[in-house]
Amino acid sequence: MDPSLIDLKSAVVIQIFHPSFKPYDKEEMLGLVKTAGYSIHSYITQNLRKKNPRFFMGSGKVKLIKEVLHDHFNPQKKTKHSEISIEDPDFSNVDYADGAIINDNEIWETGIDSSSTSEEFIENPEEIIDLTLPETLKNRHDLTIIFNNRLGFAQLTNLHGAWDVKTIDRDELVLEIFENHAQTHESKLQIELARLTLQTNIIKKEMGIHLQEKQGRGQQGKGMKAWEPRMRAFRGKKHKISLELNKISQGRALRRKSRNKFFNVGVVGYTNAGKSTLVNKLAKVSLETADQEFTTVTTTSRKVTFPKFDEYGRWQGQEMILTDSVGFISDMSRLLIDAFLSTLEELQFSDLVMIVIDISDEKWDRILLKIESSFAVIEQIGAADIPKIFVFNKTDLLSGESIKERVTKIHTHFPNIDSLAISAMEKQGFEDLAQLLIERKLQLHRKLK
């Protein structure tokens, strides 16, 4: 075993494919899992022809994984194939936990349409599964199964009940990463608020819609006494955190007023595109950077002065503010956007949005997906109408011909957006970038006059 992995948490990643499910990128997921501090022992995939609302994946695969986990953690009681059945008590008791059901919102989130929830699912008939766990893994509590899909609460609960190991989806994984990188008081509050929102939704689903209906009729349903204090406590905490975040937001608004005299550039882009490295080099300061996802969790603003001389050689340095924000991922959920809305909303007050793109990505489709994901988040936070430019980063990893080919392709999809290519790491293309930013600043000043 690689000594560097000793301190990492153990993970198995599962991805389910279906025509109605969003096909999340495997390489992106591997990066997210690595950033969260996990060592991946297996990456399991499954193609479903029809969907299984109970487990999200096929029950046969659930059973096979249960067998492998049982044999690994109980080597003295190894099972024979098919000894653990879906009809066994362990499985028959795994249903929508505590009265939880899949409601319309959860159906939408998981890609399960209401017309198919009663259909019998059909999975690919594989009787083996590529799941190998290291001998050093002795405790179930040290293993996490992570889905590269977005699951509903009932499905995660059912899977946890079947496997008896921690089971999470993409959104929970991203929250873990945010939590690991949170350094400011504000970012910690935002993560706590997101978790409370998640917990509130869980409680509602635990009690089931029938309890909500009884409450609406003024009746006290079974378990209501246990439900009310928990919900009241969560609501109280959420209200308190929201007030505190609002105060922080007001303070930011005051600081923003002091920056109104400057040209403000919002630096956005897919996670790990090199945004923070670019801001670091331009502002000549040292912020946290690394070759991994979500090293930037909070919004950071830096004043930059670009050199400029008039026609007579007189100094006319151009000052502007660069604001680095949290990185984006594909299909960023409403929960995650809401959690960081107070920092992402800074983009609404930018004079220009600079979208940083990793042009070195091996797959063209993935580059296009990252750009589209960035546009989707920009629109969701109300910054769609702000002028934009593309900055294609990491050109030092490509040949000149490859850069030209990729830039040309991108412009066929986005013909009206100016762009330039740079290498933030090598400080290549900085003069052209400075010139473009200065031109945009002067254009705005002329427009305002």
**Whole-number pLDDT of residue 108:** 32
pLDDT of res. 209? 41
Give the N- to C-terminal CA distance of the chain in Å, as an integer: 66
331-359 confidence digits (pLDDT tens): 777 777 776 666 677 788 899 999 999 99
The alpha carbon of 95 is separated from its chain's Cα centroid by a whole number of angstroms, namely 28
Nearest Cα neighbor of 272 from 25, 20, 31, 7 is 31
pLDDT of 202: 64
Distance CA 100, CA 153 (A): 8
- Predicted pLDDT at 332: 79
What does the pLDDT look like over 275-327, one tens digit per residue?
888 988 888 754 444 444 444 445 678 888 887 766 665 656 788 999 888 77
Q: Is the dihedral of CA 396, 372, 53, 204 positive or negative?
A: positive
Cα–Cα–Cα angle for 177, 180, 182, rounded to 5 degrees: 105
348 with 264: CB under 8 angstroms?
no
What's the pLDDT score for residue 97?
35
* Residue 286 DSSP class: -
Quote the pLDDT of residue 208.
55
What are the start-end ranges of the E strands in 192-299? 263-269
Q: What local confidence, expressed as pLDDT, does residue 292 receive?
A: 45
Which residue positions in the chain have pLDDT lower than 70? Answer: 1-7, 78-128, 183, 202-227, 252-260, 285-299, 309-316, 339-343, 449
Give the pLDDT of residue 255: 66
Q: What confidence score (pLDDT) does residue 259 get?
A: 62
Report the C-alpha dihedral over residues 384, 388, 394, 396, rounded to 10 degrees. 160
Nearest to 57, CA basis, from 112, 2, 136, 109 = 112
